[in-house]
Amino acid sequence: MTIEFQGNGGYTLGVEEELHIVDASTGELVPRIEEIMARLPEDLCEFVSYELFQSVLEIKTSACENVAEAEKQLREMRGRVNSWAAACDASLAAAGTHPFSLYKEQKITNQDRYKKVIETLRWIAEREVIFGQHVHVSVPGPEEAIHAHNRLSEHAPLLLALSANSPFWQGFDTGFESSRVKIFENFPRAGLPPAFPDYEAFENYVDLMVESGAMEDYTFCWWDVRPHPRIGTIELRILDTQISLGPTIALTALTQCIVARSLEDNSPKGSYDRDLAQENKWRASRHGMDAAFYDATNKLTIPAKDMARNLVEELRPHAQDLGCENELSGILEIVEGGTGSRRQREVYTKSGDFLDVVAFLIEGMRPALAEEQS
C-alpha cells in the first residue's frame, strides 16, 4: 500500500524532549502529568504531550524555520512548563534515565494507545521509564527521506555518543554511558532501522508488519531513525534527553546539517552498513565519547572525539547555508567539556548521593528560565 509522503523543502525542523516529573523534595518520579496538564494555559497545551508513564511529559516545538527558532521555543517551554510543574509541587529534570526511581512503581497513562502497548509488551514496556530527544527535519519527498534515513543511520552511533546522558538506572551505575538505548532496544521494531534501498522497500516493510498484525501503522516502528510520511520529515530518535539546552540545540543543528548534506548531489546514496553501525552503536552506548568507531571506507578505527571534530568541520558549509554555524560549534563544547553522563558521574562521585544527581538535573532546567526572564 502506498504511504503518501507529505514532503516539503527547506529543512525546517521540530524538536521533542521527554522530561522527568519529580517530587520537589524527594527527587522521586511522581505521577503529576494530569495535574500539570490541567493547569497549563491554553497556548501551551498544544506543545506539551503525555507519554507512556504519568511521571513523564514531552515538550515539542512547532515547525521551525531554523535552529535559532527551535532554541527560542524550547527555552520558553522549558521555563514556562517548569513553572507550572512547580505549582503542582513538582520539578522538571532532564536526562535519559532517572537515577534511582523504580520502574515498577510508575503509573501508566490512561490512554488507549499506551494501555495497548502495555497489554501487548508487558514487562518490556513496563521497564521503559526512559527519556529521549527527537529531531524532525523536513525533506522534499519520499526518496529524499530514504537518502537521509540511511546517512543519519550511519552517523547514529556518533550522535548517540555525543548525547550520552543515562549512566544510572534503578539506583545503580550501569557502566554504560547510555543505558537508555539498551533498555529501549528490547522493544520490537526498535534499535537501528533496516537498511532500506528505496522508499518502496520501506512501504513493503510497513505493509508486511500491518498484514501480520504486528502493528497498526508505521508509527509503531520505534527505530533510532525513521521516515515520518504524515508530516514529511526524517526523524532522529536515538538521542538521550539533555540536561541543559545548549547540547540539545547543538545536537539539533548537527542533525539538520547531516540531513542537508545527505541530499546534496555528491553525497553517497543507497543503503547503509547496518552490521557495522550496530557494532559502533554498542561502543557508543558503552563508552560514549571515549569510544572508537571503525570506518570501513578508510579501514581505520577513529576515536569518537576526532570523528566529531572532523564531522563538524565537514559540515560547516552546510551550517553556514542553514544559519546554524554557531549552534553546530556547540558539538565541540560537548567534545571538550564532556557529555551529560560524565557530568552526572562527577556529581555522584563527589557526594555518593543520587539525590544530588537529581538536584543537578533539576538545576539544568533553570538557566533556560533565567535567560528567558532576563
**pLDDT given at position 76:** 95
At residue 167, what are phi and psi to the nearest 5 degrees? -80, -25
Domain limits, the chain = 13-373
Helix (H, G, I), strand (E, B) or coil at 121: helix
pLDDT tens, residue by residue, 58-77: 999 999 999 999 999 999 99
Is a pLDDT exceeding 90 seen at residue 13? yes
Q: Is the pLDDT of residue 367 over 70?
A: no
CA distances from 19 to 49, 260, 276 (A): 11, 28, 31
The pLDDT mean for the chain works out to 95
pLDDT at 109 over 70: yes
Task: Give the H/E segment covering residue 302.
Answer: strand 300-303
- Going by pLDDT thresholds of 50, 70 and 90, the confidence category of residue 373 is very low
Largest Cα–Cα distance of the chain, in whole Å?
Answer: 57
- Span 166-190, average pLDDT: 97
Mean pLDDT of 196-215: 97
CA distances to 20, 22, 28, 127, 241 from 56, in Å: 5, 9, 12, 14, 12
Range of weakest confidence among 139-153, 213-227, 280-294, 357-371: 357-371
Residues 205 and 146 sit within 8 Å (Cβ to Cβ): no
Give the per-residue pLDDT at 372.
Answer: 42
Distance of CA 315 to the CA centre of its chain: 21
Q: What is the pLDDT of residues 301-325, one digit of tens each?
A: 999 999 999 999 999 999 999 999 9
- What are the C-alpha distances in Å from 60 to residues 34, 141, 193, 227? 18, 23, 23, 18
Query: b vs e for 105-142, b when ≥16 Cβ sit within 10 Å of the residue's Cβ?
Result: ebebbeeeebeebbeeeeebbbbbbbbbbbbbbbbeeb
* C-alpha cell, 295: 570506518
Of 110, 104, 84, give the one whose Cα is nearest residue 19: 84
CATH ID of 13-373, from 3.40.50.1820, 3.40.50.970, 3.20.20.210, 3.30.590.20: 3.30.590.20
pLDDT at 283: 98
What pLDDT, on the 0 to 100 scale, is given for residue 368?
45
Q: What is the pLDDT of residue 374?
A: 32
Question: Above 60 in pLDDT, residue 371?
Answer: no
Contact 188, 214 (CB under 8 A): yes
Give the phi and the psi of residue 65 in degrees, each rounded to 5: -70, -30
Q: Within 10 Å of residue 279's Cβ, how many Cβ atoms?
A: 14
Q: Give CA–CA dist 292/158, Å, rounded.
A: 10
Residue showing cell 505549582: 87
- The C-alpha atoms of residue 148 and residue 139 are separated, in whole angstroms, by 8
